[in-house]
Structure 1
């Protein structure tokens, strides 16, 4: 069976991975739209840039001479140097058309040769050559889809005689998307690892270690060490488990002491055979004194006893349910030996009992008039309740 730590860790990592995968899928769709928008902007910019370069390098008007495309006196048809230069500058495919036919291009066909003599698509020819408009959008270029831009080439008379084209392959869009997703995946992986490590540290400190301490205390009790108590720090539920464990130990102590007292009247009983939590001898008092209730205890002044000395004369019948004489005597002896204001935590540490149990006995002594209490205020934190002997 897997440990609680491993189960929580697997659940956490699985949730983070699922969240990261969902985020990357959503980001992929978003980046696809952004990549298309970026490609369109690039196409429009490259059309303008290449047009200015051509005008500066080849001044003059566009014209058709002997079935070839000219710019001023310069022949543009089959001018591979020009289209290659523009392609290197922009990273696009570049083509010049005479009419609807490619006369200079970097686009290559399936055989790897320049696609000279191939035609522009019908839809583009309609919009650019006949309607005289610029076309920006997806188009099929020699069997492959590109994000394209087409502008009409006009002769000096204003007649449209050709087309200038730039195109961005879908590979460019995929490159943008892939690069963005890889970056986000790296960031997401780093955050996942960081969150997982912080969660493991939190689980170890707040849940796993306190539970281990409680389990170790339980094993000690099972081995016969009934003075074992646990002190853990953690969540509220862990603190409640600590109190429940310490109360259980106290109940076992009480039961053991009752068994020891019952067996002490048996002539065959040897107290050395069971030395776990031997009851502390109660303070001796007259028989008449033991029959009095705690609020009637009177100690002669000649004996110069404190009120706390009379606690040993309280019989089992004078104690509230859940308290026993032996534990009361143990706490009283510690108070008499210390003789200074003490908190419940200090007494609990001194007698090796839980603070919850010790507090019940101290409050009983306070309610019986044998102790008094006062609040001690520090500079920070909650006040501490101190129990003081009369």
Structure 2
């Protein structure tokens, strides 16, 4: 199964290859179109130039005598001198037709013999000889595909009696076109390789950053150092992400349980405070009722006791009701107790009880001593004086 980063890389490469291929095709077709347009422009220019040269070299009208083509008084049929001259001048193939048959030409067959008396294609003959129009387009001449141009040759009466043809071999153009395609392909491959390389580096950094941001530091060692194991190509990023999310879920669950425990402890504390407040209120009510009969006696919890001064008050965060509740438990127990034991007895948290015990110790109501066991930390015991 492919790695996640490999899947992304393949998708991006496919998209880039499609884009680069489309661009190359469009550029190639554009180059080919420009080549054809340039060839047609040259053909039109060469047709005009050659026509003027023939008129200057051989004055007079075109005519047919005894089945042969003449220009003025000069016979053109089999007169390859003029076609060779024009071919050297323009660099094109040159052919003069009598009707639809070649009368003089530079075109040669595969055996090297001039293609005299061979006929032009039917669609060219239709356009030029019958319709009297100029033809520009591709044509197979002697087994070679040329970009060709034909103009009609008219007798003095205006009748079309032949054609003058210029052909540009597409070999040179094909070389240019092929070279352009080769260059485009090379550039495209270079861009694809560069794109793949930099994309792979970017995905590596992105993947590492994503995993580092998700995986918590302490859990990396507990999970077997996922950041190091991610270097193993056999481990997929999806599995790593799953482990990271599982670790996060465990942490969230632990935090939720801790919050629930804190809420439960707070509720128990509130219930204990409310209970102590009710007991104290009952005690006050009872003391008020029996005040006359028991005037000389001291209440169980005196506001002027050694650990409490009405004028001084309690430190911030301590409650008189809770303090009375703890002192009553200590007086009822009358033995050395740890903060945990007191917290369990009065149904409060250990941290809360410890604040009250330390306050009582400062006021001289309690004393503390350390109890050392066989192992672990020593336990601090509080003793009521």
Could you state the TM-score of these two structures normalised by the residue count of structure 1?
A: 0.48
The structure with the larger Rg is: 2
